[in-house]
Structure 1
Amino acid sequence: MLYPTPALGAVDEQVLSEIDRMRNALRHQVRATPSKWTAGLRKFLTADAVAASNSIEGFKVSTVDVEDLMDGERDVEVSEENREETLAYQRMMTYIQTLHDAGDFSYSKGLLNALHWILQGHRHAARKPAGQWRRGPVYVTDARDPSIAAYTAPNAEGVPALVQELVDWLNVDDGTHLLVRAAMAHLHLVSIHPWADGNGRMSRSLQTLMIAREGVLAPEFSSIEAWLGRPGNTWEYYRELADRGPEYVPDQDVSSWIRFNLTAYHQQAQTVQGRFDRSGRAWGSLSEFAENMSLDERTVTALHDVAMAGRVRRSRYEHAEGLSLQQAQRDLRDLVTAQILEPVGRTRARYYTAGPRFPQPALDIARTPMTLRNPYPN
């Protein structure tokens, strides 16, 4: 048995309507915007989701380091374990994003296990098999006392039947709003806890996959993983799951879980819109600066990365602009000579930050914080 999807109240419907309006407005803006800097925004949002979802499980890698790892950089100062976890999750997220328009698509046990193998294959072991249902009990322990089981998942013998029920539910459109169904899918999978490890990330990824399949907006603009990874939100996430009880009791009202997810969708939409606006304004400011300084227009890409992410590597600039190694090196060297950029580190590990003559207005735009509105103020 799965949790029944709760009916939405009038306030919930209003919040959901606001989310739809924000997502539709952002879709039109993205389509009308030059792809050069929106491509960078997509990469940042993907990296932010990977970094945040992994951080919930204790793997701490900054978003900018995840971006570097995604670009194939080897000289990133992270542990080998964090590197493996980051790249595995990024591969799974990349595959999920490619499924957004896959024809003849359906959810299946095989798909879920294949995604789990992409995520956990590097950790495959007899005790914790990847891509296979768990063979014994599994517990979510208390964050402050690992000797206490905060949640005990259903018996392993019942997992295949529960996952089949979930798959059947996923493949039938019951008319519920997609974002609500995605939130319910997350709760179903994380409560069944079908694998020995990786259940949280798999459940968040299933939610993202359903959003991707909706096709309204690219999943990197709609995923709530980055929102969940903020420390305060992570604790609320754990608390909300804990409110379901220490064992699997699906016959209960989960309205608070839906409200939690609607808050996440709403505030993540605000966050993405805010970054989209700042990114566009920073690009405009830097384009004007480049023109006034008689810089090649392509250097705006490097300057924009520095403004928005704090740094840029030669390889990222080279690939983003389709340059040769020599061209990229020459551009960055000229920017350093002009004191617009400042090199940090040596040889392959080198990256570039803002120099003393970097345009301050662009930095001010990029660094101005935004205020998030709570859609449930009362």
Structure 2
Amino acid sequence: MLFPTPRLTANDERVLAEIDAAREDLRLAVRSTPAKWTDGLRRFLAADAVAASNSIEGFRVSTVDVADLMDGERDVDVTEENRDETLAYQRMMTYIQSLHEAPDFAYSKGFLNALHWMLQGHHHTRRRPAGQWRPGPVYVTDARDPSIASYTAPAAEEVPGLMTELVDRLNEDDATHPVVRAAMAHLHLVSIHPWADGNGRMSRSLQTLVTARSGVLSPEFSSIEAWLGRPGNTWEYYRVLTARGATYLPDQDVGEWVRFNLVASHQQTQSVQRRLERSARVLVELDRFAGQSGLDQRMVTALHDVALSGRVRRARYEHAENLSRQQAQRDLRDLVALRILESVGRTRSRYYTPGESFPAEALDAARTPFALTDPYA
């Protein structure tokens, strides 16, 4: 038995309507913005989701470092463990991103186990197998005292039947709103806890896929993983999850969980909208600066990355502008000579940060914080 989808209140329906309207506005804004600029935002959002979801599990890599690792940079100052976890999650999420418009798609137990292998295959052992249901019991321990089980998952012999029920539910063409449907998929999977490890990240990535399969926005723009990874939100995430009880009790009202996810979806959509607007403001300032300074327009791409993420690497600029390695190096050297950029590190580990002559107006636009509203307030 799975959790029943709760009945929505009029307030819930209003919030869902606001999410739908905001996501449609965001879809139109993305479509009307040149891909050259939205590609940078996609890259940031994908990296932010990976960094946030991994941080919930204790693997802490900054968003900018995740982005560099996703770009194939080898000389990134992270531990081997964090590198392995980042790249494994990134590979899985890249596959998920490719599925949001895939025709003839269906959920299956084999598909979910394959995703789990992508995530946890590098940890595979006989006692803790990857890509297979767990062979024994599993517990979620209390963050303050690991000797206490805050949640005990269903017995291992119940997992195959529960996962069959979940896959059937995922493949049903019902009238449930996609945001609610995705939130329930997350709750079902994390509560069944079908694998020995990696259940949290698998549940969050499944929510991302179910949301994206609704067809409104691609996964980078619709995932709530970055929102869940913010410290205060992570605490609330655990609180709402543990409110379901210390054991698997599916016959209960999980309306609080759904409302928590509606807030997350609403605020993450706000955040992406604000980032897109911020990117446009920064671009206006950099275009003006480039015109006044006589810089080649392509250099704005490198400056845009620096303003928004704090740094840029040669390979990233080279790829974004389709330049030769020599041309990219020459452009960046020229910007360093003008003190617009500052070079940090050597050879393959080198990256570039704002120099003393970097346009202050662009940095101000990039660094001005934005506010998020609570749709239930």
Is the pair's TM-score, using the shorter chain for normalization, greater than 0.5?
A: yes
Flag structure 2 segments of 5+ consecutive residues without an equivalent: none
* Amino acid in structure 2 at the alignment position of 1:139: Y
Superposition pairs of residues 195-344 of structure 1, within 5 angstroms: 195-344=195-344
Aligned to 1:192: 192
1:213 deviation in Å?
Answer: 1.1
What is the one-letter code of the residue matched to 1:19?
Answer: I
How far does the alpha carbon of each residue in 1:92-125 deviate from its partner, in whole angstroms, 9 at most, with x for none? 0000010112111100000000000000011111
Residue matched to 1:147: 147
> How many pairs were matched up?
377
Q: Which residue of 1 aligns with 2:71?
A: 71
Tell me what 1:366 maps to: 366
2:40 aligned with 1:40: yes
In the other structure, the counterpart of 1:122 is 122
CA distance in 1, matches of 2:126, 2:300: 51
8 Å contact 1:96–1:212 — kept in the other structure? no
Distance across 2 between alignment mates of 1:51 and 1:5: 30
Query: Distance between the aligned counterparts of 2:4 and 2:186, measured in 1?
Result: 13
Counterpart Cα distance in 1 of 2:248 and 2:270: 34
1:281-335 Cα shifts (integer Å, max 9, x gaps): 1011111111111111111110000000000011111111111110000000000
The runs of at least 4 aligned residues of structure 1 exceeding 2 Å deviation read none
> Shift of the alpha carbon at 1:208?
0.4
Tell me the distance in 1 between the aligned counterparts of 2:282 and 2:220: 21
Summarize deviations over 1:1-47 as a string: whole Å, max 9, x none: 00000011010011111111100000000000111010000000000
1:100 match: secondary structure: coil
CA–CA separation in structure 1 for the residues paired with 2:260 and 2:129: 32
The one-letter code sitting in structure 2 at the alignment partner of 1:337 is A
TM-score where L is the length of structure 2: 0.99
Give, in angstroms, the shift of residue 212 of structure 1.
1.8
Q: Is the 8 A contact 1:150 1:242 kept in 2?
A: yes
Deviation at 1:225, TM superposition (A): 0.1
Structure 2 counterpart of 1:90, one-letter code: Q
Distance in 1 (alpha carbons) for counterparts of 2:282 and 2:144 = 43
1:90 corresponding residue in structure 2: 90
Instruction: Provide the C-alpha distance between the structure 2 equivalents of 1:356 and 1:103, rounded to a whole number of angstroms.
Output: 51
Mapped partners of 1:214, 1:5: distance in 2? 18
How high is the TM-score relative to the length of structure 1? 0.99
Letter in 2 for 1:49: A
Structure 2 Cα separation of the partners of residues 343 and 306 of structure 1: 12
What whole-Å deviation, never above 9, does each CA across 1:201-237 have from its counterpart, x for those lacking one?
0000000011121111111111000000000000000
Q: Distance in 1 between matches of 2:98 and 2:212?
A: 9
- Give 2:6's aligned residue: 6
Tell me, in whole angstroms, the C-alpha distance in 2 between the residues paired with 1:102 and 1:221: 17
Percent of counterpart pairs with the same letter? 74
Q: Distance in 2 between matches of 1:130 and 1:46?
A: 24
> Take 2:233 and 2:101, find their aligned partners in 1: how far apart are those partners?
31
- Write the distance in 2 (CA, Å) between the matches of 1:181 and 1:11: 18
Aligned partners of 2:375 and 2:251: how far apart in 1? 28
Describe the superposition over 1:71-107 as per-residue Cα deviations: whole angstroms up to 9, x where unpaired: 0000000000000000000000000010112111100
Q: Secondary structure at the match of 1:214?
A: coil
- Which SS does the other structure have where 1:25 is aligned? helix
Query: Would you say the 8 A contact 1:162–1:192 is kept in 2?
Result: yes
Residue 174 of structure 1, CA deviation: 1.7
Q: Which runs of 5+ in 1 are unaligned?
A: none
Residue 127 (structure 1) shift: 1.2
Q: Let me know the Cα RMSD of the aligned residues.
A: 0.6
Q: Secondary structure at the match of 2:100?
A: helix
1:340 is matched by which residue type in structure 2?
I
